[in-house]
Structure 1
């Protein structure tokens, strides 16, 4: 089934594991889903409460161990939970649904940056304690064929907003531009660090990613359709030609949907620039930065622990065409054909991760998974010294450089 939905207009990719060398893929063994999940965690399907949502009762504290964050459409692929409790608060657009013991909860949020508002409202809900909660942001996105595969899954260390910038298009592109049409606002030169980076880049807990990757990278992923298997053979990159796999690579958000080699290479360049060469772009989306922004500001006020935030995404399509196909053909005739296997694979990974959190709460997760890297924004707002970014010089004539 090919699903066409605004929330999945991206690229598909993911599956196996990509090492530091972009085109090296590790072998994977076969493990069934039930080997990772206990019978108490699995049921035929996921259900949510039909009871009218209410505020959390006075005298009750709800302190979930895991919270899923996704669009309503993406939850239609989640199986195995009964979210029988439904809570609400003023200005919360959808119910905050939880299992009967409130250990696992889910929130359906909108697209784009407006999702930051919904998470802010959630964080301020009376009698809800999120200080030890693990947040898993998920959904679909397009895949960079250099590092990911259609139908696969990704775990991200960096999340980047590709939007606070300037661009030239078509014939307006200066003659001395070698294909780069996007550059950060007030950037002095294409290779200089932007002077305006703030909420555009966040770094997540590598220790959490490594543990969850090691736990799930050998799961047996659902394959994409035979037609997509034929199409992926025409990409000149080994990861794109591979069946769905789990990749460690980063997400980039924008309110504008992009597709094609030119746009994809611009995003690659910008991601590398603003992460000081540490980031590896693979997943396109319109949602993640807003969600991370809401959680980050909650962390600044002690409402959540930012080292417990993770992004596990599905690949619904590729962000650029294969050899022999135009960007237009790739975007509108191939579309997001890997949406279904991608989301099925992503939820399989997420359920295994959630099960691990519950099973090892006292021993590991209650005290947190230590981060071997810096976690936070470019300003060190949560403490520590950022390992990306540097002082930039604003261009003359810009607001910052005037």
Structure 2
């Protein structure tokens, strides 16, 4: 039996004294907070999701390559965030963060950053550059993919695979629906959450056009990986810069059936306009935080980009099971295209970051792709 919750009653005088104490505590915290004489100028925020060890000198995570190569030498404290520090390049006025993996870490890190009194980010660009799984029906491991959209793959009704009705394509339905292809499609922004985000199309196209000719590493290991995907012609192409949507889910799913679900889910929430390309964790948390802060006027939602680079395929090649793929990735010490994807994220993303930062006279007042008035 569930016991009813009981809250102690407070007299009016005690409630007032508690409120006064709370205000005093808030004022005390404000008074003890560090005072900043001048805000740190930021043109671009580079957002990564993890670092393995140190920020320099060891096996790189997503953050390290930016720290060492852009570079981001100046260390700034980032209290209340997973990584604890940020990195800054004062010449370029570029700030870099490592949010921590998962949408919760990402949302809290972005919120903490935007509310940090050291920064005015109303005109800053945000570039999320991270690794991801890729659909072999879309492209190869090692590719770099600019996302026109982010689709929420974590919010759904789910039925255990052993109980899925035989006429359903998979076990997932919208939270506001009871069938996989619920019609009409529930509202994207509703009590059930935000299911899809569309980036500024002109900015995404500008970033893609600027980087589409960037040469990406094509190692013998990548060639061997993609050669196993017979019957998937796009998976067998060399790495390239592409355009495709990312599906954001905290569950690390794998397999051909889950891949078909992802393709269907992206098409469903984008009215057939989206193309499932990559799968990652943090993008929904990233967009939820920025969207809410944009409503308060603290960031510009038209200045946001997501670049995902493919570290692995999200399903096994013909003749291998999903479980065997998981085991092989673990036994090989990580994702099959991990280091090339880390390199690609910087190699492609830094072109955009440097262009924005070095030509602030051009892009500070006007977002790329915006017609000149």
Name the TM tier (shorter chain). 0.7 to 0.9
Pick which of 181-190 and 255-264 moved more.
181-190
Does residue 75 in structure 1 map to residue 70 in structure 2? no
Superposed displacement of residue 323, structure 1: 1.4
Superposed displacement of residue 360, structure 1: 2.5
**Hey, what's the Cα distance between the residues in 1 that align with 2:359 and 2:296?**
28
Could you tell me the TM-score, scaled by structure 2's length?
A: 0.79
1:202 to 197, 201, 223: 197
2:179 to 178, 181, 189: 189
Could you tell me the TM-score, scaled by structure 1's length?
A: 0.74
Pick which of 308-317 and 197-206 moved more.
197-206
In structure 2, the residue matched to 1:86 is 75
In structure 2, the residue matched to 1:125 is 116
Name the CA shift for 1:103/1:234 in 2 (closer, same or farther; >3 Å): same
In structure 1, the residue matched to 2:37 is 59
**Hey, what's the Cα distance between the residues in 2 that align with 1:59 and 1:162?**
43
Deviations 1:291-324 (A, max 9, x none): 1211111111100001111001111100111112
Q: What SS is found at the alignment partner of 2:312?
A: strand
Deviations 1:227-253 (A, max 9, x none): x42331232222200111111001111
Superposed displacement of residue 98, structure 1: 0.9
1:260 to 252, 255, 262: 255
Superposed displacement of residue 354, structure 1: 1.2
Q: Aligned ranges for residues 155-304 of structure 1 at < 5 Å?
A: 155-177=146-168, 179-191=169-181, 192-195=183-186, 197-198=188-189, 199-226=194-221, 228-235=222-229, 236-304=231-299
**Hey, what's the Cα distance between the residues in 1 that align with 2:252 and 2:137?**
19
Name the CA shift for 1:362/1:102 in 2 (closer, same or farther; >3 Å): closer
Pick which of 319-328 and 140-149 moved more.
319-328
CA-atom RMSD, angstroms? 2.1
**Hey, what's the Cα distance between the residues in 2 that align with 1:84 and 1:363?**
26
Q: What SS is found at the alignment partner of 1:325?
A: coil
Higher normalized helix content (fraction of residues): 2
